[in-house]
Amino acid sequence: MMNFLIRRLIIALLVAITVSIVGFGLLRFSGDLASLLAGENATAEDVARISQAYGLDRPIYIQYLDWVWNALRGDLGKSLFTHEPVSELIMTRIGVTATLAFAALAVGLAIAIPLGVLAAVKANTWVDRTALVISVAGQATPNFWFALILIYVFGVWWRQATVWGYKLSEITILGLQLSGLPISGSATWQHFVMPVATLATTIMPALMRLTRTGMLEVLSSDYVRTARAKGLSQTSVLFKHSLRNAILPVVSLAAVQLGFLLGGSVIVETIFALNGVGFLAIRSIERIDFPVVQSILVFLACTYIVLTLFSDLINAKLDPRVRLS
């Protein structure tokens, strides 16, 4: 187990270094940052001054090493616009994004796993078909559309939105102008009900189908027949002997989806006016706030790396054979 952990940590570190180089490079080669910052009417002297002020005139590898060195000491630079430290900008928003992501994942798994097991046990019956319809519908619905429908139904039509922390005046414009009114850091749990429902709907179908496929395969395996020949209860056969084997690919998918939720819920954060990391990323890109953008980029990449590492460790914990390979 120790060897396994060390190998995975080394791989994770190599991936992190690669990602930081690629991320840093992409941003630098996307255009001349100094002239973008200086604006359209700037003179050549202005551009040169800005270039020097931000250290953009140095060779790119020096800039990279400088940035990495500072980052390792916890200094990610300052926002070009608000002049707040980037680490602070991210830390104040990560709470909102993480709450949203973990809650959506928990809700998604809580629905997907029992439903997937049920669909496999009742394969090819109306129960299975119903589960299939639910998952196809969930998969086919774009989440921004579903979010707007939720707002319309509960906010405009049923007028329940105050219960969930939104003022009616915010709602009636149907989200499109809400992006101007982020509730900075003041979101209560009620604000999360609709966004979590939206995101859980997005991730649930794939998890559910994967659980069903895995269970179907495992249920017809020899060792499940052995478990039944031992006279074990249906609960033990399904959840002790089958699910643990069937869940391995679901763990990996859930890790990828959590990464997607931590970095990719930009649209949902925008529609529901939650001031999370995704929202910050969009704002910073619009304003060419490159210290913030490159930090978020690397931050999200590291999130993925950590999650993949975790899913590998969980799988190794669940399946002794993984530890060997």
Question: HSE on the CB side for 231, CA within 13 Å?
Answer: 0
167 binds other proteins (CB under 8 A): no
Interacting residue with other proteins among 228, 252, 309, 310 (CB under 8 A): 228
Minimum distance of other proteins from residue 214's CB (angstroms): 13
233 binds other proteins (CB under 8 A): yes
Minimum distance of other proteins from residue 222's CB (angstroms): 4
225 binds other proteins (CB under 8 A): yes
Applying CB under 8 A, the span of 85-93, 99-107, 241-249, 303-311 interacting with other proteins comes to 241-249
Tokens linked to 173? 């414009």
Closest CA to 13 of 238, 210, 255, 306: 306
Rounded CA separation 206/212 (Å): 10
244 binds other proteins (CB under 8 A): yes
Cβ proximity to other proteins: between 140 and 324 the closer is 324
252 binds other proteins (CB under 8 A): no
Please give the C-alpha separations between residue 294 and each of 77, 253, 289, in angstroms, as whole numbers.
10, 26, 9
Cβ proximity to other proteins: between 232 and 256 the closer is 232
Rounded CA separation 82/278 (Å): 17
The three-class DSSP label of residue 324 is: helix
What does residue 85 show for φ and ψ, rounded to 5 degrees? -60, 140
Interacting residue with other proteins among 46, 128, 217, 319 (CB under 8 A): 319
Residues that bind other proteins (CB under 8 A): 221-223, 225-234, 236, 241, 244-245, 318-321, 324
